[in-house]
Amino acid sequence: MPSKSIEERFPALAVCPPALAWLRMRADFGLAPRTVDAYGRGLAEYLAFCNAQSVSVVDAGRDHVARFVRELTDRPSRRPELLPFAPSPPRLANATIQQRLTAVRLFYDYLVEEGLRVTSPVGRGRYTPGACLGTARHGLVPRYVHLPWIPNEDGWAAILAIAAAEPIRNRTMLAFAYDAGLRREELCALRTDDIDPARRMLRVRAEATKSRRERIVPYSAPAGELLRAYLAHRAEFSSARGPLFLSESRRNPAEPITPWTWSKVVRRIALAAGEPRFGTHTLRHLCLTDLARAGWEVHAIATFAGHRSTATTLRYIHLSGRDLAAKLAAGMAQLHERRIALLAATPMGMA
């Protein structure tokens, strides 16, 4: 089935030629499909807001953008179960708001470049070194950087208990997603010729990665056993080389499994285990955190994960608590020694 056009996916953009032209251009420049979809959703929401305000999106001013920001920050979350510690009622996640505003800002940059506006109504936040607090310019909305969420041992045990009853394909996919720290798209894009069973290595193709960088990563012996069992099962309904993980539904048998189908599988497992925050990316978070706990250096983890910047990788080092625990242990050892030395000292006049 051919993929839908931008007009079909975002009908709100079809009535605004500049918006449609901008999103098409971003797609033509090779932007990742998920990013194009995110920009399309964000811009469609902004167009709907401007329409409700009876203002042309091309002529909107900073006051309209400010009202849109207020609407976003006041909007309740559609998935409150994923924000158990948020104020009541839970609002949109900070990352979602930032994503929406990025689409609006880039769209207005385009309008300025095309001569349709003189200036953009969306300011760019920037930090001025040495400036006093309150004098530096910031973004429209404060940006919060949260550590990735991973389940505790009880939560992980619950996930594994439910996963144990899953079909061999799903168990193999779960094992590879964790073992190799794969993103959802990377997992679903694996092909039969990407696997090297002799060396227990797999290739993650550049076109499937977020950074557009190919990498080779290992997988464990238990994952290899699951893979052998799955390949024997796969041969019962398809002997063709190509996509590794195939759909077994009646609607599209032997077709490549889609990221959306895989998300539904993981979502079903998460709800059955009583861990609604668990998602396809959680397996990657858990893998990288475990590598940090095991003492891997930050550059090694970054290479394994395919991160462009080690700043992203450092989040998993912090989440593991490895460095802080080591410093705490060293500090407590020195403090302990000093206290013991004081107790062992003989007070004057008591010898």
For the chain, what is the HEC assignment? CCCCCHHHHCHHHHCCHHHHHHHHHHHHCCCCHHHHHHHHHHHHHHHHHHHHCCCCCCCCCHHHHHHHHHHHHHCECCCHHHCCCCCCCCECCHHHHHHHHHHHHHHHHHHHHCCCCCCCCCCCCECCCCCCCCCCECCCCCCCCCCCCCCCHHHHHHHHHHHCCCCHHHHHHHHHHHHCCCCHHHHHCCEHHHEECCCCEEEECHHHCCCCCCEEEECCHHHHHHHHHHHHHHCCCCCCCCECCECCCCCCCCCECCHHHHHHHHHHHHHHCCCCCCCHHHHHHHHHHHHHHCCCCHHHHHHHHCCCCHHHHHHHHHHHCHHHHHHHHHHHHHHHHHHHHHHHCCCCCCC
Residues 87 and 169 in one domain: no
What per-residue confidence (pLDDT) applies to 325? 63
Residues 200 and 259 in one domain: yes
Residues 103 and 175 in one domain: no
Beta bridge partners of 196: 201
Residues 234 and 173 in one domain: yes
Rounded Cα–Cα distance for residues 351 and 341 (Å): 16
What per-residue confidence (pLDDT) applies to 96? 84
CATH number of the domain residue 262 falls in: 1.10.443.10
CATH number of the domain residue 31 falls in: 1.10.150
Residue 183 lies in a domain: yes
Per-residue tokens: 16: 């605004």
Give the side-chain half-sphere CA count within 13 A for 147.
14
Residues 108 and 157 in one domain: no
Residue 340 lies in a domain: no
Cis geometry, peptide bond prior to residue 89 (ω within 30 degrees of 0): yes
What per-residue confidence (pLDDT) applies to 134? 33
What per-residue confidence (pLDDT) applies to 146? 76
Total domains in the fold of the chain: 2
Measure Cα distances from 6 to 25, 149, 190 in Å: 11, 33, 27
Q: Is the dihedral of CA 259, 264, 267, 268 positive or negative?
A: negative
What per-residue confidence (pLDDT) applies to 278? 95
Residues 107 and 165 in one domain: no
Residues 97 and 199 in one domain: no
Domain of residue 75, residue span: 6-113
Residue 33 lies in a domain: yes
pLDDT, one tens digit for every residue, the chain (351 residues): 446 788 888 888 888 999 999 999 998 888 878 888 999 999 999 999 999 999 999 999 999 999 998 898 888 876 655 555 445 556 777 888 888 999 999 999 999 999 999 999 986 644 334 433 333 345 667 777 778 889 999 999 999 999 999 999 999 999 999 999 999 999 999 999 999 999 999 999 998 888 888 999 999 999 999 999 999 999 998 888 999 999 998 888 889 999 999 999 999 999 999 999 999 999 999 999 999 888 899 999 999 999 988 888 888 887 777 666 666 666 666 666 666 677 776 555 544
Residue 17 lies in a domain: yes
Angle of helix 280-293 versus helix 168-179 axis, rounded to 10:
40
Residues 185 and 270 in one domain: yes
- Could you tell me if 166 and 117 are in contact, meaning their C-beta atoms sit under 8 angstroms apart? no
Residues 275 and 157 in one domain: yes
69 Cβ contact list (under 8 Å, min separation 6)? 97, 101, 140, 141
Residue 171 lies in a domain: yes
Query: 22, 23, 19: which is closest to 48 by C-alpha?
Result: 19
Residue 65 lies in a domain: yes
Residue 199 lies in a domain: yes
Residue 346 lies in a domain: no
